[in-house]
Structure 1
Amino acid sequence: MAEIDDYILDVLMRDLVGHDRRPVSFLVYLWLSAEEARRGEAVEVSYQELAECIGISKSSAQVAVGWLNKRQLLTTKKGTVTATPRYTVNRPWRDAKLRLERKGRAAR
């Protein structure tokens, strides 16, 4: 079973569901995060497959991915315009924590 970062449930859920009013974006982020952890690499999945795995419509999946990209919580890459997207889940809170730790070590 994939581990869920405390930040995802304590902060991100409230931010995406409550503040942004985008609960589907939270579900997409959660599913992609767990799937990336299971596979050990970025997730290559079509909008249709993504929607079916979560139980939402294809258009809802597209809108959610767009929102997550805008919020920089997801990076989407495609080899060509018609290729299946490859999603990398971003965890900016971890990057910020690592930067602070490195800065603290460098100051010593």
Structure 2
Amino acid sequence: MKDTVTLHRPMLEGLMADLIGHDRTPAAYVVYLAIWSAGDGGRVALSYADLAARTGLARRTVQTAIAHLHRRQLVAIEPGAPTEVRRYQPLTPWRRWAD
């Protein structure tokens, strides 16, 4: 595991203001950052329990945050069997906006 994680300025400033200020879902921002850091921006397999342990949030709060991130198209969820650990891909829509 690397000691550093690269974050983009729009992720820190724009996404934080959007999820925390506008949507009033700070847990979604924390979960997004946890997914990003676990996979260093790439696809990663994490259970709700893993995300809860990484963030200090309740498992149900993590589930709600994931649903919100998926609805906002900030996280892609790889489909699998109901009992499989989900694979998440953090999405970066601000990169499309910059082009």
TM-score by length of 1: 0.83
Q: Shift of the alpha carbon at 1:28?
A: 0.4
1:90-101 paired onto structure 2 within 5 Å: 90-97=91-98, 100=99
**Higher-Rg member (1/2):** 1
Q: Which residue of 2 aligns with 1:43?
A: 44
Q: Which residue of 2 aligns with 1:52?
A: 53
Q: Which residue of 1 aligns with 2:68?
A: 67
**2:88 alignment partner, SS class:** strand
Distance 1:16 1:45 in 2: 21
TM-score by length of 2: 0.90
Q: Which residue of 2 aligns with 1:3?
A: 6
Is residue 34 of structure 2 the alignment partner of residue 31 of structure 1?
Answer: yes
* Runs (4+) off by over 4 Å: none
CA RMSD of aligned residues (A): 1.3
Q: Shift of the alpha carbon at 1:84?
A: 0.7
Unaligned runs of 5+ in 2: none
Q: Deviations over 1:33-76 (max 9, x none)?
A: 12221xx7411011011101110100000000000000000001
Distance 2:91 2:63 in 1: 18
Q: Deviations over 1:51-104 (max 9, x none)?
A: 01110100000000000000000001132122110000000111333xx3xxxx
Aligned length: 96
Q: Percent identity?
A: 34
